[in-house]
Amino acid sequence: MDWNSTVKGFSAYLSMERSLSPNSVEAYIRDVEKLARYMQKENPGISPENVSLHHLEGFIQYIDKEQHQDERSQARIRSGIRSFYKYLLVEDLCTEDPTELLEGPKLAKKYPDVLSLDEINAMISLIDLSTDSGVRNRAMLETLYACGLRVSELVNLRMSMIYEDFGFVKVIGKNNKERIVPIGQEALKHIRLYVLGVRRPMKVIAKDSEDILFLNLKGKKLSRIMVFLLIKDLAAKAGIHKTVSPHTFRHSFATHLVEGGADLKAVQDMLGHESITTTEIYTHLDIDYLRETLHRYHPRFQIH
């Protein structure tokens, strides 16, 4: 079993069976190719199935010291190698996993910035509703926060996905997975104002954007960078010194729900996370709230 054919098989596995994005596949393959080049240089003739923990430790030491990779890059490379050997095991191309005892750097958890409700209100209040773009921007930010959308989901949101009578929107997330997310009356009100006052009167709409909800003044779908720049500008005007992006609204949506006592599984479903462990990041943000919940409801939390 040679490295080239194995890496090609791994690439197909990531794309077809794990349905990873092209960028993710490219990152995994790039890291495994680094391992292949190292092995071919330092251990000529060794095939992937014969690599041992000792060999991998040598590679990691080379990556750490010779290529001056930071800890986050080191951790990513280790993750890629582990995925590679899991693939070999699944395909019966090796009998043991040499990465099982491979140690990695302990990374400090980096939690996302979260906006308070007052900060979100301050940003939204700065939008000039006397202009068509302002009416649209208000509807966009209300929707972004009300539904916890990714920016790509926001710019691709279609008019036919808004079920106003039932109070929910249909969202097309990563890997074209659909989910249903409730939407509040405030966001629906501003979507309605935008559609009736700005969207419908537009004289020219691009053929591929006829069902897209949020359009630029030329009748075309908005770019993600346009939404990013809008939010960055509003944050600066509001005097907010955090790192604010469209994703900050998504983090804030989830954090405010968890702080308010929402069920974590429900938050996971609304965010479209495949694993609940991804959603659990939001539980760290209000330990006092969790402690108060135990204090109120757990019969033996306090000694009487």
Nearest Cα to 18, choosing from 68, 83, 81, 63?
A: 83
Query: DSSP secondary-structure letter at 221?
Result: B
Instruction: State the residue for tokens 């010291």.
Output: 65
CA distances to 43, 183, 208, 227 from 186, rounded to whole Å, are 64, 9, 29, 20
Cα separation of 136 and 139, whole Å? Answer: 5
Cα separation of 16 and 14, whole Å? Answer: 6
Residue 67 CB neighbour total at 10 angstroms: 11
Q: Please list the active-site residues.
A: 150, 174, 247, 250, 273, 282
Three-state secondary structure call for residue 84: helix
Cα separation of 301 and 290, whole Å? Answer: 12
Strand order in the sheet with 168-172: 162-163, 168-172, 178-182
